[in-house]
Amino acid sequence: MKQATLTFLIALLLLSCDRETVRMDDFDVHGIDVSHYQGRIDWPTVSEQGSILFLLQPLKEEITRISIFCDNWDLMRMYEIKRGAYHFFRPNTPVNLQIANFVDNVELEAGDLPPVLDVETYDGASKLEIISGMRQWLYAIEIHYNVKPIIYTNLKFFNKNLAGQFRDYPLWIARYNTREPRLADSREWDFWQYGNKGTLAGIEGYVDFNVFQGDLESLDSMCYEPAAVISEQRED
């Protein structure tokens, strides 16, 4: 009887893992993040769906992936989709090269999301080395774009390694669940990636579903503005 019960529970767990992500309607601002894995995206079809207000496009070093990134980046602007770029952090790759890779390939325009640093792997580095490298990347990117970057990571990695650190940076937390993330240092999350099996017309395969804890006006206030625009706003 115990073996049968255990088998049933395992089967139930596997079934739940394969279930498509259901959109959470309790939040005002929704978005997806995509990568080269989604291939060429039908942005006109995506733009016609009012459910998507922001997207993230990961940036990779390989030339073919850079090409896909550049095409998507331009099309997202063309179809008035709020866009942003994130960098997957590698603790054992020289940070100056990672900074240059991002800066050389991402030119922000007014209304774009701040740069996002995706940190979720050790690569053999210590906690201290990871935090030190993150600080170097975040500081350099903030100085270059004059906007505070966002930190993306999963709940387990944050609670184990980053709790109590980087309190002045917005947080994007991945936790695939219907219950909101609870951070070890009692901070509030700004973005929540709650599932990785969402479906959307215009995109082949699954995509990650995200929500923003706030309204569109709050999101806009976080986004990039050129220095000239900021100066004019202060003068007014």
Positions marked catalytic: 33, 120
CA geometry: angle at 164 spanning 58 and 160, to 5°? 65
Query: Tokens 């100056």 label which residue?
Result: 96
SS3 for the chain is CHHHHHHHHHHHHHHHHCCCCCCCCCCCEEEEECCHHHCCCCHHHHHCCCCCCEEEEEECCCHHHHHHHHHHHHHHHHCCCCCCEEEECCCCCCHHHHHHHHHHHCCCCCCCCCCEEECCCCCCCCHHHHHHHHHHHHHHHHHHHCCCCEEEEEHHHHHHHHCCCCCCCCEEEECCCCCCCCCCCCCCCCEEEEEEEECCCCCCCCEEEEEECCCHHHHHHHCCCCHHHHHHHHHC
Identity of residue 79: Y
